[in-house]
A = this chain, B = another copy of it.
Amino acid sequence: MRIAFLGLGIMGKPMAQNLVKAGHEVRVWNRSSGKIVGGAHGAATPADAAKDAEVVWLCVSDTKAVEEVLFGNHGAAQSLRKDAIVVDSSTILPSASVKFAERVRAKGADFVDAPVTGSKTGAESGQLIFIVGAKQETFDRLQPLFAAMGKSAVRVGENGKGLAAKLSMNLMIALTFEGFAEALVLAKKQGVDLEPLMSLISQSMVRSGVVDYKAPFVLSRDFTANFPMRLMHKDIHLMLEAARQNGVKLPGLETVDRVYETSRHEGNSELDYAATLTTLEKASGVSER
């Protein structure tokens, strides 16, 4: 297929590369120049990239960037084919995405929200999971592209539902990690040996993907960003805003937001979100090891 890929960040670049590898004709564009995807053509503007494209795929940082890339000067909407599909893998507010979908539909094209779970490594190895809000028919047409970049794509409803589901899943990550961090602080302050405790956790129903993944880093005090606290905090704000718009109360998440706020003030924004543990430790007078 002829694909425009807009946004070559940590996730977008390997995603575009995997589309090229799968044999698609890809034109790429990035806000800052100098990003190259082997085998893909470069484009000067989103409109330039989107010209003649069957699918226009976005992976940018926030709502404002999506709006700019789609509807700004030289935005993709200016050259969009009537039968094109715009797919947005950015993590933004569901209600904003629904409005973008309406504006794209008004031009005759279709729109899909398809945020992903999976790290940079998952993007590189084509192991992403796409969480999709789309018409069933459009979802079906995109299967070869999902398959080129991910191990799985699941449709959870119409426009905006992919993002709603993605935010709900990240909410689970945030609270599961908070539980792990509070448990560690409570155990450490009482003198529990952490190594056997981790063994217990891994063999009991307390186990989780989040803890499996984070525990080795946490125990070796390696808080290098894999998923930076800044980005998780951004997602938490999206969850709280989506909750507000829908009259939903999220008491646990509100508390976690306050922990992140404190951690931000402590200068941890560029570390992994796991560094919120150090904020809880400080509040409880736990020494670092």
Interface residues of A (CB under 8 A from B): 94, 117-118, 129, 131, 152, 154-158, 160-161, 164-165, 167-169, 171-176, 178-180, 182-187, 189-193, 196-197, 199-201, 203-213, 239, 242-243, 246-256, 258-259, 280, 283-286
- A184-B168, A201-B172, A208-B176 given; A193·B249 CB < 8 A: no
Q: Are B165 and A252 in contact (CB under 8 A)?
A: no
Residues of B within 8 A of A247 (CB): 189, 284-285
Interface core residue of A118, A186, A201, A212 (most chain B CB under 10 Å):
A186
Residues of B within 8 A of A172 (CB): 176, 179-180, 183, 201, 206, 211
A26, chain B: closest CB distance, angstroms: 27
Sort A-B residue pairs by CB-CB distance and give the 7 closest, nearest first. A175-B179, A205-B209, A208-B208, A164-B190, A168-B183, A168-B187, A248-B284
Q: Which residue of B lies closest to A117 (CB)?
A: B204
Counting every copy of the chain, the complex holds 2
Q: Are B209 and A210 in contact (CB under 8 A)?
A: no
A273, chain B: closest CB distance, angstroms: 13
A151, chain B: closest CB distance, angstroms: 8
Q: Are B210 and A187 in contact (CB under 8 A)?
A: no
A202, chain B: closest CB distance, angstroms: 10
